[in-house]
Amino acid sequence: MTAAMPAVDRLLDDGSGRRPRADARRNVERLVVAARQAAVEGGEITAHEIARRAGVGIGTFYRRVGTLESLLEAVLGEVLGEIITKGDDGLADPDPWSGFTAFALSYIHLRNELCDVNKRLGDVLDHSRAELRDRIQLLVKRAQQAGAMRTDVTWEDVAFLMAAASSTGPHTLGLQTSARQWDRNLQVILDGLRIPDPTPLPGEPPTLTPWPEDS
Protein backbone atom coordinates (compact mmCIF):
# COMPACT_ATOMS: atom_id res chain seq x y z
CA MET A 1 0.00 0.00 0.00
CA THR A 2 1.35 3.41 -0.99
CA ALA A 3 0.41 5.72 1.87
CA ALA A 4 1.76 8.92 0.34
CA MET A 5 -0.23 8.82 -2.92
CA PRO A 6 -3.61 10.61 -2.87
CA ALA A 7 -6.50 8.22 -3.39
CA VAL A 8 -7.69 9.92 -6.60
CA ASP A 9 -4.25 9.71 -8.22
CA ARG A 10 -3.84 6.10 -7.22
CA LEU A 11 -7.22 5.11 -8.66
CA LEU A 12 -6.58 6.95 -11.92
CA ASP A 13 -3.06 5.62 -12.40
CA ASP A 14 -3.29 2.93 -15.10
CA GLY A 15 0.44 2.86 -15.69
CA SER A 16 0.20 4.51 -19.11
CA GLY A 17 1.17 7.99 -17.96
CA ARG A 18 -1.78 9.45 -19.82
CA ARG A 19 -3.75 12.26 -18.22
CA PRO A 20 -7.33 11.16 -17.42
CA ARG A 21 -10.33 13.03 -18.79
CA ALA A 22 -11.65 15.82 -16.62
CA ASP A 23 -15.03 14.17 -16.13
CA ALA A 24 -13.36 10.90 -15.10
CA ARG A 25 -11.29 12.71 -12.48
CA ARG A 26 -14.33 14.56 -11.13
CA ASN A 27 -16.24 11.31 -10.71
CA VAL A 28 -13.36 9.63 -8.92
CA GLU A 29 -12.96 12.67 -6.66
CA ARG A 30 -16.67 12.46 -5.77
CA LEU A 31 -16.39 8.76 -5.00
CA VAL A 32 -13.38 9.27 -2.75
CA VAL A 33 -15.11 12.08 -0.85
CA ALA A 34 -18.27 9.97 -0.52
CA ALA A 35 -16.33 6.98 0.80
CA ARG A 36 -14.56 9.11 3.39
CA GLN A 37 -17.81 10.75 4.46
CA ALA A 38 -19.44 7.36 4.92
CA ALA A 39 -16.52 6.27 7.10
CA VAL A 40 -16.62 9.47 9.19
CA GLU A 41 -20.36 9.21 9.73
CA GLY A 42 -20.31 5.50 10.41
CA GLY A 43 -22.60 4.96 7.48
CA GLU A 44 -23.01 1.93 5.27
CA ILE A 45 -19.88 1.38 3.19
CA THR A 46 -21.14 -0.34 0.05
CA ALA A 47 -20.70 0.38 -3.64
CA HIS A 48 -24.34 1.44 -4.02
CA GLU A 49 -24.27 3.71 -0.95
CA ILE A 50 -21.03 5.41 -2.00
CA ALA A 51 -22.32 5.87 -5.57
CA ARG A 52 -25.53 7.39 -4.17
CA ARG A 53 -23.60 9.80 -1.96
CA ALA A 54 -21.34 10.74 -4.88
CA GLY A 55 -24.30 11.35 -7.19
CA VAL A 56 -23.13 8.87 -9.82
CA GLY A 57 -24.60 5.66 -11.18
CA ILE A 58 -23.40 2.26 -10.06
CA GLY A 59 -22.06 1.67 -13.57
CA THR A 60 -19.88 4.76 -13.26
CA PHE A 61 -18.69 3.52 -9.87
CA TYR A 62 -17.37 0.24 -11.25
CA ARG A 63 -16.04 1.84 -14.43
CA ARG A 64 -14.01 4.43 -12.55
CA VAL A 65 -12.73 2.56 -9.49
CA GLY A 66 -13.10 -1.10 -10.45
CA THR A 67 -14.17 -2.57 -7.12
CA LEU A 68 -15.24 -1.35 -3.70
CA GLU A 69 -12.07 -2.87 -2.25
CA SER A 70 -9.90 -0.90 -4.69
CA LEU A 71 -11.60 2.34 -3.68
CA LEU A 72 -11.32 1.62 0.04
CA GLU A 73 -7.67 0.55 -0.22
CA ALA A 74 -6.88 3.86 -1.94
CA VAL A 75 -8.82 5.78 0.73
CA LEU A 76 -7.09 3.84 3.50
CA GLY A 77 -3.69 4.71 2.05
CA GLU A 78 -4.67 8.37 1.77
CA VAL A 79 -5.88 8.64 5.37
CA LEU A 80 -2.83 6.79 6.65
CA GLY A 81 -0.61 9.12 4.65
CA GLU A 82 -2.34 12.14 6.20
CA ILE A 83 -1.76 10.81 9.71
CA ILE A 84 1.90 10.08 9.01
CA THR A 85 2.33 13.56 7.54
CA LYS A 86 0.76 15.10 10.64
CA GLY A 87 3.22 13.11 12.74
CA ASP A 88 6.15 14.37 10.68
CA ASP A 89 4.84 17.93 10.96
CA GLY A 90 4.67 17.52 14.72
CA LEU A 91 8.24 16.26 14.86
CA ALA A 92 9.38 19.25 12.78
CA ASP A 93 7.75 21.74 15.16
CA PRO A 94 10.49 23.42 17.25
CA ASP A 95 8.14 23.30 20.24
CA PRO A 96 7.81 19.60 21.21
CA TRP A 97 4.59 20.11 23.15
CA SER A 98 2.96 22.13 20.38
CA GLY A 99 4.01 19.49 17.86
CA PHE A 100 2.56 16.69 19.96
CA THR A 101 -0.76 18.42 20.63
CA ALA A 102 -1.26 19.37 16.98
CA PHE A 103 -0.68 15.75 15.97
CA ALA A 104 -2.99 14.45 18.71
CA LEU A 105 -5.83 16.70 17.56
CA SER A 106 -5.45 15.60 13.94
CA TYR A 107 -5.08 11.96 14.92
CA ILE A 108 -8.31 11.68 16.90
CA HIS A 109 -10.28 13.09 13.97
CA LEU A 110 -8.64 10.81 11.39
CA ARG A 111 -8.37 7.66 13.51
CA ASN A 112 -12.01 6.54 13.37
CA GLU A 113 -12.09 7.07 9.62
CA LEU A 114 -8.97 4.95 9.29
CA CYS A 115 -10.31 2.21 11.58
CA ASP A 116 -13.72 2.01 9.91
CA VAL A 117 -12.25 1.58 6.43
CA ASN A 118 -9.61 -0.84 7.71
CA LYS A 119 -12.28 -2.97 9.40
CA ARG A 120 -14.32 -3.11 6.20
CA LEU A 121 -11.24 -4.36 4.34
CA GLY A 122 -10.49 -7.00 6.95
CA ASP A 123 -7.72 -5.32 8.97
CA VAL A 124 -5.02 -4.88 6.33
CA LEU A 125 -2.97 -2.34 8.30
CA ASP A 126 -0.66 -4.87 9.95
CA HIS A 127 2.43 -3.72 8.07
CA SER A 128 1.65 -0.03 8.54
CA ARG A 129 1.02 0.02 12.29
CA ALA A 130 4.75 0.35 12.90
CA GLU A 131 4.80 3.73 11.14
CA LEU A 132 2.06 5.05 13.39
CA ARG A 133 3.67 3.63 16.51
CA ASP A 134 7.03 5.21 15.59
CA ARG A 135 5.52 8.68 15.18
CA ILE A 136 3.67 8.53 18.50
CA GLN A 137 6.73 7.18 20.30
CA LEU A 138 8.99 9.92 18.94
CA LEU A 139 6.50 12.70 19.66
CA VAL A 140 6.03 11.54 23.25
CA LYS A 141 9.79 11.17 23.78
CA ARG A 142 10.46 14.71 22.53
CA ALA A 143 7.78 16.21 24.76
CA GLN A 144 9.07 14.33 27.80
CA GLN A 145 12.69 15.24 27.15
CA ALA A 146 11.64 18.89 26.87
CA GLY A 147 10.01 18.68 30.30
CA ALA A 148 6.56 19.35 28.82
CA MET A 149 4.97 15.94 29.46
CA ARG A 150 4.87 13.83 32.60
CA THR A 151 7.42 11.04 32.41
CA ASP A 152 5.53 8.31 34.25
CA VAL A 153 3.40 7.63 31.17
CA THR A 154 4.62 5.59 28.24
CA TRP A 155 3.94 6.17 24.57
CA GLU A 156 1.70 3.11 24.74
CA ASP A 157 -0.37 4.87 27.42
CA VAL A 158 -0.63 7.91 25.18
CA ALA A 159 -1.78 5.81 22.21
CA PHE A 160 -4.62 4.39 24.32
CA LEU A 161 -5.54 7.81 25.69
CA MET A 162 -5.82 9.33 22.22
CA ALA A 163 -7.95 6.40 21.07
CA ALA A 164 -10.19 6.86 24.13
CA ALA A 165 -10.69 10.54 23.32
CA SER A 166 -12.32 9.66 19.99
CA SER A 167 -14.28 6.60 21.13
CA THR A 168 -17.29 8.38 22.58
CA GLY A 169 -20.57 7.60 20.87
CA PRO A 170 -23.16 10.29 20.12
CA HIS A 171 -25.22 9.36 23.20
CA THR A 172 -24.03 8.57 26.72
CA LEU A 173 -26.46 8.22 29.65
CA GLY A 174 -29.05 10.08 27.62
CA LEU A 175 -26.71 13.02 27.01
CA GLN A 176 -26.23 14.43 23.52
CA THR A 177 -22.65 15.28 22.66
CA SER A 178 -21.59 18.51 21.04
CA ALA A 179 -19.85 18.66 17.68
CA ARG A 180 -16.51 19.12 19.46
CA GLN A 181 -16.84 16.46 22.14
CA TRP A 182 -13.70 14.70 20.90
CA ASP A 183 -11.77 17.97 21.22
CA ARG A 184 -13.07 18.46 24.76
CA ASN A 185 -12.08 14.92 25.70
CA LEU A 186 -8.62 15.41 24.27
CA GLN A 187 -8.08 18.71 26.08
CA VAL A 188 -8.77 17.04 29.43
CA ILE A 189 -6.29 14.30 28.53
CA LEU A 190 -3.65 16.81 27.41
CA ASP A 191 -4.01 18.76 30.63
CA GLY A 192 -3.56 15.51 32.56
CA LEU A 193 -0.42 14.69 30.61
CA ARG A 194 1.06 18.12 31.19
CA ILE A 195 0.41 18.78 34.88
CA PRO A 196 3.68 19.38 36.80
CA ASP A 197 3.00 17.13 39.84
CA PRO A 198 0.85 14.24 38.67
CA THR A 199 -0.58 11.60 40.96
CA PRO A 200 1.32 8.33 40.53
CA LEU A 201 -0.46 6.07 38.09
CA PRO A 202 -1.92 2.78 39.37
CA GLY A 203 -1.07 -0.53 37.76
CA GLU A 204 1.26 -1.14 34.87
CA PRO A 205 1.36 0.45 31.40
CA PRO A 206 0.03 -1.54 28.43
CA THR A 207 2.43 -3.71 26.53
CA LEU A 208 2.75 -4.18 22.82
CA THR A 209 1.39 -7.46 21.45
CA PRO A 210 3.71 -8.55 18.62
CA TRP A 211 2.16 -8.89 15.19
CA PRO A 212 3.43 -11.71 12.98
CA GLU A 213 5.63 -9.32 10.98
CA ASP A 214 7.21 -8.02 14.21
CA SER A 215 8.36 -11.47 15.30
pLDDT tens across 113-137, in order? 888 888 888 777 766 788 899 999 9
- pLDDT-derived band of residue 211, with 50, 70 and 90 as boundaries? low
Domain ranges of the chain: 7-69, 76-197
CATH 3.40.47.10 fits 76-197, yes or no: no
- One-character DSSP codes across the chain: --SSS-HHHHHH--SS-PPPPHHHHHHHHHHHHHHHHHHHHT----HHHHHHHHT--HHHHHHHHSSHHHHHHHHHHHHHHHHHHHHHHHHHSSSHHHHHHHHHHHHHHHHHHHHHHHHHHTS--TTTHHHHHHHHHHHHHHHHHTT-S-TTS-HHHHHHHHHHHT---SEETTEEPPTTHHHHHHHHHHHHHH-SSPPPPPS----PPPPGGG-
Q: What percent of the chain has pLDDT over 70?
A: 90
Which of 33-37, 165-169, 189-193 has the weakest average pLDDT? 165-169
Mean pLDDT of 18-36: 91
- pLDDT-derived band of residue 204, with 50, 70 and 90 as boundaries? confident
Q: What pTM value is reported for the model?
A: 0.83
Q: For residue range 145-161, what is the model confidence (pLDDT) as tens digits? A: 999 999 999 999 999 99
pLDDT tops 70 at residue 215: no
